[in-house]
Structure 1
């Protein structure tokens, strides 16, 4: 089964740590990062898609992606 996550956060070192943690858990980058200005909070936001192949699992909407 292939899993997909879109990691998002404010553009700061915490976002980089979030992506680094996912990479160290076996997730792979998928595409380029994205940036957007949040007018409400007046902050730059980042997003990075990651994917991971997991054997022996069946996907359900209850799958806890962050636990893989």
Structure 2
């Protein structure tokens, strides 16, 4: 069980590829997360959906 006061070490952010998605990723970067791998994109028949993994902590 995850303690809600403790940040997750790994996050996978998904959603429509729009300004809100970018703001969510940017907000996590400002809180100490770093990108983990490349983003993934798919098309759901109406819009582009993005996914980006982020990890908390220092880089390699």
TM-score, with structure 2 as normaliser:
0.76
Larger Rg: 1
* Number of positions where the alignment pairs a residue of Structure 1 with one of Structure 2: 50
Which structure is higher in strand share?
Answer: 1
Structure 2 stretches of 5 or more lacking a match? 1-7
Moved over 6 A (4+): none
- Aligned CA-pair RMSD: 1.3
Determine the C-alpha separation between the residues in 1 that align with 2:23 and 2:37: 18
Unaligned runs of 5+ in 1: 54-68
